[in-house]
Amino acid sequence: MATNGIVKDLDFSSFHNVIDGKLVDTKSTRRGINPATNEELWPCPVSTPQDVDAAIQAARTAFKSWSKTTLQHRKAQLLAFSAAFTALRSEFGEVLTKEQGKATFFAEQEVDFGAYWLAGTCALEMPFEVVDDTPDMLVKTRYTPLGVAVGIVPWNFPIMLLCGKIAPAVMTGNCIIIKPSPFTPYCGIKIVELAQKFFPPGVIQVLSGDDNLGPWLTAHAGINKISFTGSTATGKRVMESASKNLVRVTLELGGNDPAIICSDVDIATVAPQIAAMAFMNAGQICIAIKRIYIHKDIYIQFRDAFVECVKAFKVGNGFEKDVFLGPVQNRLQYDRVKTFLDDVKSSGQKVATGGQVIDTNTSGLFIQPTVIDNPADDSKIVAEEPFGPVVPLLQWSEEDEVIARANDTDMGLGASVWSEDIDKALRIGESLEVGSVWINEHLGIKPTATFGGQKQSGIGREWGVDGLRGYCNTQTVFLNHRRS
């Protein structure tokens, strides 16, 4: 179908569930909130248990034929879907800025990432392993689709993380039901509506709703897989719910990611990078830099350069020119971030910059980017993940010491090490108890590279070949060549 036709077909002012290839209204609706203005957005569905049943039944029916399609066909449809999605970059970017709050540049960049995940996953091949191959016996392990998956998507990256669940699920021959966050439902609904032009009814569906919807889906006996991205606390509840039917789970949860800065770095080059990767998306990224360990020999110089970078960040409505930090996405998270600021004040910690909410005439949820100067390791801002624009700077002196301090957490999602000495950086990085380690960069992820956390930062893996395996059953085949 021509791209122009696709653009005309999608109405970005009307939002519905997508069940069995059809746009379905619900009796009740709710409205999201623009976090930059506090204005209500469009009505969106509030799903019922009957909607859940209908979507799961449609997916189970579609799975019978979709699971038998060829890998080449499934990849072709994903590639076409990606191209059509890219053609709607500005439309999706505008909606994303309204519902999530991020600046237009970053919103359109997220559309690009989503399209990249849809297409980039197609570079992978289905896993297949020959265990033994002799004249007498062939032993092979093949991977087959599970059935119906549920993708639970958070509010910080509602496009990219949605696409990162759709692509591996459908490429491996599964059907998937997307549940977007109640805070950011709009882009997810429209992406799935667009998907109907490329996939049979029931293969990709979306249900929007309130806080009841997640438990209804995760406890349903008709699903085979849950892919959840969100907080560790909610992930534990998802896992508990899934256990009732022994449903497979992949949990990508919180992080308290350290960046370790060695004494040999070029401060003028590295400080701006660290600042950007700590405060991007107002700090609302699971793998954003959350703790910054700076070698004592350069601490003061690095701190001062870092603070100057942070002071230069423009905070405001994502539609304004040159905005780097938008608002905190929702009132619940805004209030949580304020507890960190309250603790900093009550405990007498030193604030290098920021430390206040920003009063605006729009009632937006804005917080000044805040840097805490060398707080204690047991302080709230070091020990917990704020998931907002507040970060601590900390001094270190010995390798063993900083490794131990970086690992002293029940989270283990990502970490970075910054040094001109690559051997040293690798030595430190490979000692960190995290799922992803970056050397002289941070936030680098790819659809072809396995991603996931250690400790309480997750179970299972997204993306890469391991991510594909997570949507599959294994079957080991023993073929006896010998004649009886």
Encoded tokens for 307: 């603070």
Interior angle at CA 112, CA 98 and CA 229, nearest 5: 70
Residue 90 has pLDDT above 90, yes or no: yes
What is the predicted pLDDT for the residue at 336? 97
Res. 220: pLDDT tops 70: yes
Q: Where does the pLDDT of residue 2 fall: very low under 50, low under 70, confident under 90, or very high at 90 and above?
A: very low
- Indicate whether 3 pLDDT > 80: no
Q: What is the mean pLDDT of residues 231-246?
A: 97
* Tens of pLDDT, residues 427-459: 999 999 999 999 999 999 999 999 999 999 999
Both tokens of residue 102?
Answer: 């991020």
Task: Report percent pLDDT > 70 for the chain.
Answer: 97
For domain 257-439, give the CATH number.
3.40.309.10
Give pLDDT, residue 360: 64
- Give the confidence band of 483 by pLDDT, cuts at 50, 70, 90: low
Which sequence positions are flagged as catalytic?
Answer: 252
**Helix or strand (DSSP H, E) at 240:** helix 232-243
Predicted confidence at residue 406, as pLDDT, reads: 98
Query: In this predicted structure, what is the pLDDT of residue 361?
Result: 61
Helix (H) or strand (E) holding 197: none
Q: Which top CATH class is 17-253+457-476?
A: alpha beta
pLDDT on residue 271: 98
**How large is the greatest C-alpha to C-alpha distance in the chain, in angstroms?**
85
CA separation for the pair 105, 352 (Å, rounded) = 28
CA 196 to chain centre: 23
List, edge to edge, every strand of the sheet that includes 436-439: 351-353, 370-373, 390-396, 291-295, 258-261, 414-418, 436-439
pTM: 0.96
Taking residue 445's Cβ as centre, other Cβ atoms within 10 Å add up to 17
CA distance 126 to 440: 32
pLDDT (0 to 100) of residue 9: 79
User: What SS3 state is found at 142?
Assistant: strand
- How many whole angstroms separate alpha carbon 28 and alpha carbon 203? 25
Q: Which of 102, 106, 94, 90 is CA-nearest to residue 36?
A: 102
Q: How far apart are CA 344 and CA 362, in angstroms?
A: 27
How much is the average pLDDT of 274-302? Answer: 98
DSSP character string of 31-97: EEE-TTT--EEEEEE---HHHHHHHHHHHHHHHHHHTTS-HHHHHHHHHHHHHHHHHTHHHHHHHHH
More confident residue, 8 or 173: 173
- Chain segment 379-420, per-residue pLDDT in tens: 999 999 999 999 999 999 999 999 999 999 999 999 999 999
The pairing of beta strand 458-459 with beta strand 370-373:
unpaired
Spatial CA neighbour of 209 closest among 19, 47, 51: 47
Flag whether pLDDT at 362 surpasses 90: no
Q: Note whether 17-253+457-476 and 257-439 share their fold.
A: no
Instruction: Name the pLDDT band for 5 (thresholds 50, 70, 90).
Output: very low
Average pLDDT on 309-332 reads 97
pLDDT of res. 358: 81
Q: What is the mean pLDDT of the chain?
A: 96
Tell me, what's the pLDDT at 6? 44
What distance in Å separates the CA atoms of residue 377 and residue 383, rounded to the nearest whole number?
Answer: 7
- In this structure, which amino acid lies at residue 482? R
Residues 6+ apart with CB under 8 A from 215: 237, 241
Q: What is the pLDDT of residue 7?
A: 45
Tokens describing residue 451: 């991603």
Boundaries of every domain in the chain: 17-253+457-476, 257-439
Residues 334-357: what's their mean pLDDT?
A: 96
Distances (CA, A) of 393 to 73, 266, 280, 297: 50, 17, 17, 14
- Tell me how far apart the alpha carbons of residues 162 and 158 are, in angstroms, rounded to a whole number: 6
In 265-419, alpha helices (H): 267-279, 299-312, 331-346, 380-383, 399-407
